[in-house]
Amino acid sequence: MENTENARTLNFIEEIVEEDLRNGKNDGRIQTRFPPEPNGYIHIGHAKAICLDFGIARNYNGKCNLRFDDTNPVTEDVEYVDAIKEDIQWLGFQWAGEARYASDYFDQLFEWALLLVRKGKAYVDECSAEEISAHRGVPTQAGKESAYRNRPVEENLDLFMRMKNGEFPDGSKVLRAKIDMTSPNMHMRDPVLYRIKHAHHHRTGDKWCVYPMYDWAHGQSDYIEGITHSLCTLEFEVHRPLYDWCLDQIADGDYRPRQIEFARLNLNYTIMSKRKMLQLVNEGYVSSWDDPRMPTICGLRRRGYTPESILNFVETVGIAKRENIIEFTLLEHLVREDLNKKALRVMVVSNPVKVVLENYPEGQVEMMEAENNPEDESVGTRKIPFSRELFIERDDFLEDPPKKFFRLSPGNEVRLKNGYIIKCTGVDKDEQTGEIRQINCTYDPTTRSGLEGANRKVKATIHWVSANHALDVEVRLYERLFMVPDPDDVEEGKDWKSNLNPDSLKVIVAKAEPGLANAKPGEKYQFQRTGYFCVDTDSKPGKIIFNRTVTLKDDWAKILKQ
């Protein structure tokens, strides 16, 4: 019974893998790879691919390589290489051996291209990009062959070598595969294999001035690395015939890597395009790639998301081939679930109003004991100072409360978490504005937490901090970055940025229990009754900064809406 509980059904890729294993394909070897292009930071969508690629390897006793797909030097940079490595490791994965680079294979790739030319399967085209594009035709109509398509092998060889030697300017020539200009698959209409770029490459420097295209580099790199299952997203589906064609040109034995496509991850209320993320950073809509509002891995990390929550998310979302848009609430649920087990509970008042306990001795301070996490006894307890003057949340008091309001109101009792039961006797208001300046209460000395008298039933428990002991902390309250589920859904003339939420960040100063003065960057807390918070990397001793990861579920807020 318990076994079936754990036996998750296989996704379609695992089915293929197990089938291959049963058939003894590739001698039972499982080899995958995660192939990011180092032209941006990786995001939660990449996390899906990472979990798949590394997960398959892990579960089937295989290996997963990390391979940077760095065939386009003009958009790529080492800055991204380091960040990508860090993010993968933070998620809990480790690639086999050293990180690899498509650029490691440039010599081999070039040799194979030469082989293609000699076989009469590739030619140097001197048409302009525009002409090539025009000749390619449209999906519903066949293309036209280039005038250079049938030149002699020797001439192609000579020209290609001279391309490599830097004799021609950028864009003047390309090497194209000779396949079929009438193919219904556009990618088979003599795809470009090499282009001239006199560009500095972040690894190979100025060695090359011809660079392979994705289609020539990717499958061949897979082949070199002995990849068995080359997993990628749906948009590469139409490339697969070309992927296979390229491999067939250079492979001799039975072994071939197999490309399998799955649907990428989409999340509502967010964008998943590196281009758009870059724009948000460059135009100052967010502070950086690791801004806690970004769906990047580093952004989520800074926001307070745990690797476990992201892994669970990817697992829950599943792998299939149909387009999907996942609800953000699922991600939030999973981070709450994880943080509920791990986060230490503390009391922080974000919108304070003063409470004075009229019958509590002036100058007296009691140290109250508080559980650090009711879900985990092993993390123990701590002491919090209690005194005559306290801060509570302004929202926890209502002078004229509706029926279902259980918190503090005149004549009503409420429990102070880890403290006493108090009763409101009245309020002091600003004569001009009517704003409540101070709430007056009496406390019942017999109801201290842990004492017999504390067992009395009280409708609500609220959190508090001692006014004289409170620590001022900066709290960054984050909301979703976009106001609408689909940020790309805009009316004529507007662009996706018009859907940005102007209130996605609100910074406040809150009153925290004094022990938080020692909070360290990265630590995660639950502000009781409020939400989960993570100490920001900008935080320093003397200036503690918290990022709100996610709010707690709030039934009262729901009642208010009704």
Using CB under 7 A as the binding rule, the residues of this chain from 152 to 181 that contact RNA are 170-174
Whether residue 510 contacts residue 473, with contact meaning beta carbons closer than 8 Å, is answered with yes
Whether residue 60 contacts residue 93, with contact meaning beta carbons closer than 8 Å, is answered with no
In angstroms, what is the minimal distance from the CB of 553 to RNA? 4
CB-count burial class (<10 Å; 0-12, 13-18, 19+) for 130: exposed
Give the one residue of 64, 81, 122, 213 binding RNA; rule: CB under 7 A: 213
Q: 132 vs 357, which CB is nearer to RNA?
A: 132
In angstroms, what is the minimal distance from the CB of 134 to RNA? 8
In angstroms, what is the minimal distance from the CB of 133 to RNA? 4
Question: For residue 298, what are its two tokens?
Answer: 């580093």
- Of 86-94, 287-295, 373-381, 474-482, the segment contacting RNA by CB under 7 A is 373-381
Q: Contact between 411 and RNA (CB under 7 A)?
A: no
Q: How many residues bind RNA (CB under 7 A)?
A: 97
- What phi and psi values does residue 551 have, to the nearest 5 degrees? -75, 165
Using CB under 7 A as the binding rule, the residues of this chain from 337 to 356 that contact RNA are 337, 340, 345
Q: Contact between 400 and RNA (CB under 7 A)?
A: no
Q: Contact between 537 and RNA (CB under 7 A)?
A: no
Q: Contact between 476 and RNA (CB under 7 A)?
A: no
Q: Contact between 103 and RNA (CB under 7 A)?
A: no
Q: Which residues lie across from 472 on neighbouring strands? A: 511
In angstroms, what is the minimal distance from the CB of 432 to RNA? 29
Report which of 464, 479, 421, 465 is spatially closest to residue 446, judged by C-alpha positions. 421
Using CB under 7 A as the binding rule, the residues of this chain from 431 to 470 that contact RNA are 448-450, 454, 457, 460-463
Whether residue 348 contacts residue 376, with contact meaning beta carbons closer than 8 Å, is answered with no
* Residues annotated as catalytic (active site), given as ranges: 37, 264, 274
Q: Contact between 553 and RNA (CB under 7 A)?
A: yes
Using CB under 7 A as the binding rule, the residues of this chain from 40 to 69 that contact RNA are 69
Measure the CA–CA gap between 475 and 123, rounded to whole angstroms. 62
Q: 287 vs 496, which CB is nearer to RNA?
A: 496
Q: Using CA atoms in the order 348, 351, 356, 360, what is the torsion angle rounded to 10 degrees? A: -10
Q: What is the DSSP string of 407-442?
A: SB-BT-EEEETTS-EEEEEEEEE-TTT--EEEEEEE
Report which of 357, 352, 353 is spatially closest to residue 441, judged by C-alpha positions. 357
Using CB under 7 A as the binding rule, the residues of this chain from 22 to 41 that contact RNA are 35, 37
In angstroms, what is the minimal distance from the CB of 555 to RNA? 4
Measure the CA–CA gap between 124 and 248, rounded to whole angstroms. 21
Q: How many CB atoms lie within 10 A of CB 383?
A: 13
In angstroms, what is the minimal distance from the CB of 275 to RNA? 9
Give the one residue of 80, 160, 405, 533 binding RNA; rule: CB under 7 A: 405
Give the one residue of 114, 161, 181, 263 binding RNA; rule: CB under 7 A: 263
Q: Contact between 249 and RNA (CB under 7 A)?
A: no
